[in-house]
Amino acid sequence: VDFARRLPDYQERVERTLDRWLPPESEAPQRLHAAMRYAVLGGGKRVRPLLMYATGETLGIPPGRLDGPAAAVEIIHAYSLVHDDLPAMDDDDLRRGRPTCHKAFDEATAILAGDALQVLAFEILTRDRELQVEPKARLRMLEMLAEASGSYGMAGGQAIDLGAVGQALDQVELEDMHRKKTGALIRASVLLAATGVPGLTPDGYDALDLYARRVGLAFQIHDDILDVEGDTATLGKQQGADRARNKPTFPSVLGMDAAKDLAQQLHAEAVDALRPLGASAEPLRWMSEHIVTRRN
């Protein structure tokens, strides 16, 4: 597929944009800026930006207009990993095949780097000049990013996740946790690209929303499966960490076969949701497939 061939270009594009928006290490406070760059650059699958560019191809949006929003969602994701990895949270030493931020720097710097990265994401959406949308659409995008990141979104999902250690969740509770923890920001990645697009009908927007919800959940289920079946070198993080921590996961709650079936079913539903958008949605179909077959 064409989108697969363009993947390296998009990934390079993401690195370039992130590098441009991140404060340079030469400027004070240098250690903080170094930690922010360490946490964001050089690694990461960039799934959220890729979903955004795939949505952009589907809707005919030039990629340059999505660079800022793509950087913003990736920076929110990167900051969340820095805080999640802290000793008081998941206490992880390895991330993207390297020491976690608090291991490479120190805990206090990691906390502040996460804090400053979160602000940076909002700053990018606020001031990015290449994002050529009306101020009202921009404010709607900022609201979306806030909802996806806050206590009813990602941060809330992480809180539920921490409280769930050693608990027996049922499938409904597990899905609610992951809708917040991972799903909200993945959904925002698609919907931010679809905001302020003149030609997009409400039906088209709803189709993308449904697609993004299905893909968001499929992503997390596949992550849970990789935690069991992957290996540490390929994953770039400790394999088996969820199990070691006694966290409820889709394989542990549903059984491995049912978890795999569910991921495939969600992928099928995601592809199905795209039907109103026609052939131009091929990049999003490819991304959905990629998300449930990736090895890290």
Q: Which residues form the interface with its own copies (CB under 8 A)?
A: 23, 28-29, 31-33, 36, 83, 86, 88-89, 106-109, 111-112, 114-116, 118-120, 122-123, 126-127, 134-136, 138-139, 142-143, 146-147, 149-152, 155-156, 158-160, 162-163
Q: Which amino acid is at 240?
A: G
Please state the closest distance from residue 260 (CB atom) to its own copies, in A. Answer: 29
Residue 289: CB minimum distance to its own copies, A: 32
CA angle, 186 then 70 then 228, to 5°: 40
Asked if 201 and 243 count as a contact pair (C-beta separation under 8 A), the reply is no
Q: Which is nearer to its own copies, 17 or 288 (CB)?
A: 17
Shortest separation between residue 227's beta carbon and its own copies, angstroms: 20
By CB atoms closer than 10 A (0-12, 13-18, 19+), residue 94 is middle
For its own copies, the closer of residues 189 and 288 by Cβ is 189
Please answer whether residues 137 and 195 qualify as being in contact, where contact means their C-beta atoms are separated by less than 8 angstroms: yes
Distances (CA, A) of 109 to 33, 34, 86, 163: 10, 10, 11, 25
User: Are the CB atoms for 232 and 239 separated by under 8 Å?
Assistant: yes
Pairing of strands 98-99, 94-95: antiparallel
Cβ distance to its own copies smaller for residue 86 or 253: 86
Q: Cβ 145 to its own copies, closest distance in Å?
A: 8
> Which residue, 50 or 184, is less far from its own copies as judged by CB?
184
**Shortest gap between Cβ of 184 and its own copies (angstroms)?**
11
Decide: 250 and 224 in contact? Cβ < 8 Å: yes
| Minimum CB–partner distance for residue 271 and its own copies (Å) | 31
* Count of other CB atoms within 10 angstroms of residue 292: 19
Peptide bond into 29 cis (omega under 30): yes
Residue 114 or 204: which CB sits closer to its own copies? 114
For its own copies, the closer CB: 102 or 267: 102
Query: Judged by CB, which is closer to its own copies: 42, or 152?
Result: 152
CA distances from 192 to 70, 215, 224 (A): 9, 15, 26
- Write down the H helix ranges in the chain: 2-21, 30-40, 47-59, 67-84, 101-104, 107-127, 135-149, 154-164, 171-178, 184-193, 202-229, 232-235, 241-244, 250-254, 256-273, 282-293
Distance in Å, CB of 119 to its own copies, minimum: 4
Nearest distance, CB of residue 162 and its own copies, angstroms: 5
Q: Nearer Cβ to its own copies, position 155 or 210?
A: 155
